Structure 1
Amino acid sequence: MALRFHFRYFCSFLLLFATECLIAMYVHDQFVRPYVGDMLVVVLIYCFVKTFLKMESRKVALGVLLFSYLIEFAQHLHLVALLGLKDSRMANLILGNSFEWIDMIAYTVGIAVVLIVDKKYKSGVKEKLR
């Protein structure tokens, strides 16, 4: 693992961050906001990590997935309330406040998409180098 700055991952992170903000502010439905938003957040975190760390994609993806599961489990334990941050909008936004098994599926699908896109991108780059 080495430190570096990867411009494409950073641009992807910024685009995903803007998308997540737009979803949070303007989408109030029962599918896009809860499930597409959860799927995209793991992609966002993955891109953020890959911006600064030169590390094998599968390891980063697994780490992000486990981190996401941990946050969801913290929601199950009502960690925000346990920390006395129940009234903090920021804590509720970052940590969330409701556990749902389907969120775990959304995180898993998001990481699967990351790995598929990463593999296709890398195979495309190898083809161009031949």
Structure 2
Amino acid sequence: MKLQFNIKYLILTILLFLTEVIIATALKNVFFVRAYLGDVIVVILLYTFVKSFITIDNTKLITGIFIFSCIIEFAQYFNVAEKAGFQKGSLMYIVIGNSFSWVDIACYAIGCLFLYLIIKVAENKSFQPEN
């Protein structure tokens, strides 16, 4: 792991963040998008954010993001945001969340698996011999 700025990942991070904002605001009444797609995208957003500043093994990073996402989800089960005194609607209350869901964990797993597969396909294409 080493610190190294990557503008491409930062641009992707910004685009994914804006996508999440649109999902949370303009598409909040579109159930599938709000309930599932946002959770799939958020793990990809975390990946691109970390890769914007750090060079790290992709598999380790994806695994770490999945574990982190599960920890946040289980924090919701134990109402950590409320117990920590965060006010409803505050940034930290929104980040931690307030309702545990196994479906959310499945969405995080799908996002991580999708990310892993995309990276493996890209790696395999870059190592193909030229004809």
Identify whether the pair has TM-score above 0.5, normalized to the shorter chain. Answer: yes
Deviations 1:52-106 (A, max 9, x none): 1111100000000000000000000001110111434312221111001100000
The residue identity in structure 2 corresponding to 1:60 is: L
Aligned pair count reads 130
SS in 2 for 1:127: coil
TM-score normalised by length of structure 2: 0.92
In 1, distance between residues paired with 2:37 and 2:14?
17
1:128 Cα deviation after fit: 7.3
List 4+ stretches of structure 1 deviating above 6 A: none
In 1, distance between residues paired with 2:50 and 2:130?
26
The residue identity in structure 2 corresponding to 1:82 is: K
CA pair 56-125 structure 1, distance change in 2 beyond 3 A: same
The residue identity in structure 1 corresponding to 2:108 is: Y
1:121 Cα deviation after fit: 1.4
Identity %: 34
What RMSD in Å do the two structures reach over aligned CA positions?
A: 1.6
For 1:95, the equivalent position in structure 2 comes to: 96
In 2, distance between residues paired with 1:29 and 1:75?
23
The residue identity in structure 1 corresponding to 2:123 is: K
* Higher fraction of helix: 1
For 2:22, the equivalent position in structure 1 comes to: 22
| Deviates most, 120-129 or 87-96 | 120-129
| Deviates most, 3-12 or 34-43 | 3-12
In 2, distance between residues paired with 1:105 and 1:97?
17
1:116 Cα deviation after fit: 0.7
The residue identity in structure 2 corresponding to 1:109 is: I
The residue identity in structure 2 corresponding to 1:94 is: V
For 1:62, the equivalent position in structure 2 comes to: 63
